[in-house]
Amino acid sequence: MSKRIGVLTGGGDTSALNATLKGIALRAEELGYELIGFMQGWAGVLTGGSYCRLSPDLIDADRGGTVLQSSRTNLRSSNKLGEAVENLKKLKIDALIPIGGDDTLSVGSALSEHFTTTFVTKTIDNDVGINCPEGSTVDYTQIVNYFCPGFPSAANLVAKYIRDVRTTAYSHNRIIFVEAMGRYAGWLTLSSAYGNADLILIPEIPYDPDKMAEIIEAKYIDQGHLVVAVSEGISNADGNLITESAELDSFGHARPGGCSEVIAEHMKARLPNLSSSAFRHQILAYMQRCGSPTPIDRDTAIKAGKLAVSAIKNGQVNHVATIMRTDEGIIPKLLSLEEVLKRGEDGHVIRRSLDARFYDTENFSISPAGVGYFRAIFGDPPKTYTSPSLKILTI
Ligand code: F6P
């Protein structure tokens, strides 16, 4: 039976959103379904919102961002869920596919109590899903949502930038603090290991400026330059972000950003023996969220989009098209919302932190288990960095 399905993209954009939309449009076309795209996330389903007809030819899977545009609109806090349901019914939509991260999914899961909904995840933060059970061994096939579409492309850009900036760090004997996104989770910052970051500071580990100064000094004396990857979500021992803007989004989240500069200043103050011009910082910001997807990200996102439409056809609603690692490779798999979203006592979605086993707390770097995780996305890790072996003589 022909259906009319809706789709929207919510939250921060990623490079793989159009790929997911392409998969949805291709499968919808195959099944003879009509596809309606709501503009600007949840705002599109509200009165005054806008929508369009979507078909595969209107979507370029290799183009980053989202053809439907996005917004951070919280229907729950504004009591607009009822209005959204009414509008969806008015437009004769049979089922809705929200593509989003934890905020979009938590709005969607409230909506799914009143409307047929199936989800596809996305976020460069990679914090939607569940880590494999705790223990000394890591079974990668048990990670629920191995990665969120959008993460591999962003991780690739972070690793590339970290690798590239070393030439400048070396040339000028600099210590460059490079700030990656991922406000609550260190996944994206850890991907800098594939660019040979010398130190990696993640939000899951409280920041201790005195200890960091000691480590940086020792490494700098040894190497003459450093590239340090820091997450925008770095917090103090009391759990507060070390920098945040006063601006809150509609989900009440403070915007992080700018901690690389603060950390550079902390280190400069604690290491007066080093030239003050050695300390530099760089915020990657949208440079890690923009542009084309990597092939693995694009292809997986297309498959996840197709799976979401097949799920609607098969009546498997209130499910999520996740990504799983299997012995046959990385494939999409349909799971129930409950299997994907861990909730706190108050019903709020708990974001997935970086698996502690993937991080080496002693050396502020990636652990062998972490390399095992990234290998499935990037292939073999890069060779360790070695400085040029010049024989330097003094005049
Ligand atoms: O939620 C994804 C994310 O990329 C975070 O890592 C980051 O803090 C945030 O979006 C910033 O988004 P924007 O500047 O679009 O509000």
DSSP letters, 224-238, are S-EEEEEETT-B-TT
Q: How many whole angstroms from 69 Cα to the centroid of ligand 1? A: 15
- Equal CATH topology for 4-132+293-343 and 153-291+355-376: yes
Statement: residue 200 has pLDDT above 90:
yes
- Average model confidence (pLDDT) across the chain: 95
Which is nearest to 231 in space by CA: 158, 294, 128?
158
Please name the residue whose Cα sits nearest to atom 3 of ligand 1: 12
Please name the residue whose Cα sits nearest to atom 12 of ligand 1: 12
Please name the residue whose Cα sits nearest to atom 1 of ligand 1: 12
Asked whether 203 and 186 are in contact (CB, 8 A), the reply is yes
Please name the residue whose Cα sits nearest to atom 9 of ligand 1: 12
pLDDT tens, residue by residue, 306-342: 999 999 999 998 899 999 999 999 999 999 999 998 8
Asked whether 93 and 53 are in contact (CB, 8 A), the reply is no
Is any ligand 1 atom within 6 A of the Cβ of residue 183? yes
Domain locations along the chain: 4-132+293-343, 153-291+355-376
Asked whether 5 and 94 are in contact (CB, 8 A), the reply is yes
pLDDT tens, residue by residue, 9-62: 999 999 999 999 999 999 999 999 999 999 999 999 999 999 999 999 999 999
Q: How many whole angstroms from 181 Cα to the centroid of ligand 1? A: 7
Residue at 333: amino acid letter: K
Q: How many whole angstroms from 260 Cα to the centroid of ligand 1? A: 16
Is any ligand 1 atom within 6 A of the Cβ of residue 182? yes
Which of 9, 128, 183 most suits a substitution to test ligand 1, by most atoms within 8 Å of the C-beta? Answer: 183
State which fold the 4-132+293-343 domain adopts: Rossmann fold (3.40.50)
- Render 150-203 in DSSP notation, one character per residue: THHHHHHHHHHHHHHHHHHHHHTT-EEEEEE--SS--HHHHGGGGGT-SEEE-T
For residue 125, indicate whether it is catalytic: yes
- The dihedral sign for the CA sequence 239, 242, 247, 251: negative
Which is nearest to 235 in space by CA: 214, 215, 263?
263
Q: How many whole angstroms from 183 Cα to the centroid of ligand 1? A: 7
Q: Is 147 exposed, middle or buried (0-12, 13-18, 19+ CB in 10 A)?
A: buried
pLDDT tens, residue by residue, 258-286: 999 999 999 999 999 999 999 999 999 99
pLDDT tens, residue by residue, 151-168: 999 999 999 999 999 999
Is any ligand 1 atom within 6 A of the Cβ of residue 70? no
Name the active-site residue from 125, 127, 297, 355: 125
Q: How many whole angstroms from 313 Cα to the centroid of ligand 1? A: 33
Q: What are phi and psi of 279, to 5 degrees?
A: -95, 120
With 0.85 as the threshold, say if the pTM is over it.
Answer: yes
CATH class of domain segment(s) 153-291+355-376: alpha beta
What gap in Å lies between CA 20 and CA 301, rounded to an integer?
5
Which is nearest to 146 in space by CA: 187, 111, 181, 186?
187
- The dihedral sign for the CA sequence 193, 18, 255, 107: negative
